[in-house]
Amino acid sequence: MLKFQVHSPGKVILHGEHAVVYHRPALAAVVGLGTTLRFRQLEDSQVASFQLEALNCTLEIQLPEFNGFLAEFRSKYPSDSTANLLEAVRAEVSKQLERSGGNAPKQHTQRAFISIYYLLAGAVLSAPGDKKLTLQTGFQVQVDSQLTVGAGLGSSASFGAALATTFLILAGHFDRDSYLSEANQALISSWAYESERVNHGTPSGLDNTVCTYGGMLRYVKGQGFQSLKIQKPLNILLVDSRVSRSTADIVAKVRHLGDAFPQLIEAIWQACEELVAAAVPLYESFGNAQDDSSKFEQLERLFQINNDLLKAIGVSHPKLEQIFTIAFKRGFFSKLTGAGAGGYVIVLLPENYECNEVYWKLKEELESAGFGVHVTTAGGEGLRVSSLDD
């Protein structure tokens, strides 16, 4: 029986958050934290079971009902288009939740169920070869995540990319030996983007792209991405402010600010674009020469400038300011990442930081102040499939 595991990393935006909404370039990188999905087919089962640790819930799909939904959709849309699939899935999930009775699930749980159902149906309906493919064998999916939901680390895209990969393998689009081909990575990313639509309505496409491909990317909305040729991942400290927020609300507030002061905010977006242009050669050359200390200092300054630009558009928060102050007092440079107004801060760490006594004092002070602290990297591997040992 089929069994495997998928690891899908989260992401951080290094530069260009908010500006990316207005078609300016952003730099993003995968982080060493992510989502792990374990898949096992189950003999003599007609149930697809999903255990989602981050949401503390288990969701189930009865395969006879699911196959009935597929048959109805194919009958209604015989051209085999999935253009109307999301709308059909929303209606089907709503009916199933009504039939199940009890309390309505939380919004996060309901969106996760829609994503699962949508991606599974999409993978089967678009499967190569057999246009009448149905699911005959049940399976179990366990999803564990190191990523805080709604904190700017791409948790939903990481989840979507892992699900998409799993269902595409299950439906025969590719296998564990061919998933890294250019065409198959593009397919994974496109379905992860569809999952993002469930969670965010009109996502930029940045998160699903970087979670799938890995490394460090320069991204412009509507123009795709370019992979940076970095020498090695950066060492970073991710600091969780433990302040939740709505990305959509923050983006809307920034848009209102731009409406009120269009020339001023446009100048900030232009500065953000210039900053990305200055940062790219530094990231690409860091780690291949003896003058890395000079390059690292330049990256630190760019972090500081970028953070000040983000403060200027009003997306800081008292808890973020506390983190910035603690880091700066110890000689470290930091910036918020993502939408801001909470979420995470990135602190740049030098080479051999573990040998630096000041680093340990920084970590201790941040933890004592009640912040979550994760030592990791930016710019490592993207999504990977591996064997699963029982």
182-228 tens-digit pLDDT: 999 999 999 999 998 887 777 778 889 999 999 999 999 888 889 99
Question: Which of residues 109 and 312 earns the better pLDDT score?
Answer: 312
Q: Which residues fall within 8 angstroms of residue 367, CB to CB, at 6 or more apart?
A: 373
When computed from its CA atoms, the radius of gyration of the chain, rounded to whole angstroms, is 22
* Among candidate residues 329, 283, 334, 331, the one with its CA nearest the CA of residue 311: 334
Tell me if 360 sits within 8 A of 315, measured CB to CB.
no
Active site residue 334: no
Indicate if the pLDDT at residue 102 is higher than 60: no
User: Model confidence at 1, in pLDDT bands (50, 70, 90)?
Assistant: confident
Under 8 Å between Cβ of 346 and 234: no
Residue 130: pLDDT band (50, 70, 90) is low
The one-letter code for the residue type at 306 is N
Residue-wise pLDDT tens digits, 361-389: 999 999 999 999 999 999 999 999 999 87
Are 121 and 73 in contact by the 8 Å Cβ rule? The answer is yes
Query: What mean pLDDT is predicted for residues 170-184?
Result: 93
DSSP state, residue 1: -
User: Among 8-17, 109-118, 147-156, 374-383, which stretch is predicted with the lowest mean pLDDT?
Assistant: 147-156
Domains contained in the chain, CATH given? 3-228+381-386 (3.30.230.10), 234-377 (3.30.70.890)
8 is catalytic: no
> What's this model's pTM, rounded to 2 decimal places?
0.88
- For residue 204, the model assigns a pLDDT of 75
The stretch 96-102 carries a mean pLDDT of: 69
- In the set 156, 189, 195, 316, the catalytic residue is 156
Q: Which of 115, 126, 207, 334 is catalytic?
A: 207
Report the pLDDT value the prediction gives residue 124, as an integer from 0 to 100. Answer: 94
* pLDDT number for residue 245: 82
pLDDT at 299: 95
Q: Look at residue 326 in the predicted model and tell me its pLDDT.
A: 97
Burial class of residue 21 in the structure, from the number of CB atoms within 10 Å of its CB (0-12 exposed, 13-18 middle, 19+ buried): middle
Q: What percent of the chain has pLDDT over 90?
A: 72
For residue 225, the model assigns a pLDDT of: 86
- Average pLDDT (258-285) is 96
Residue 171 has pLDDT above 90, yes or no: yes
Listed in sequence order, the residues at least 6 apart from 112 whose beta carbon sits closer than 8 Å to its beta carbon are 52, 55, 57, 59, 159
* Model pLDDT for residues 16-66, shown as the tens digit of each residue: 999 988 999 999 999 989 999 999 999 889 999 999 987 888 899 999 999
Per cent of the chain over pLDDT 70 is: 97
Residue-wise pLDDT tens digits, 283-340: 999 887 767 889 999 999 999 999 999 999 999 999 999 999 999 999 999 999 988 9
Q: How many CB atoms lie within 10 A of CB 241?
A: 25
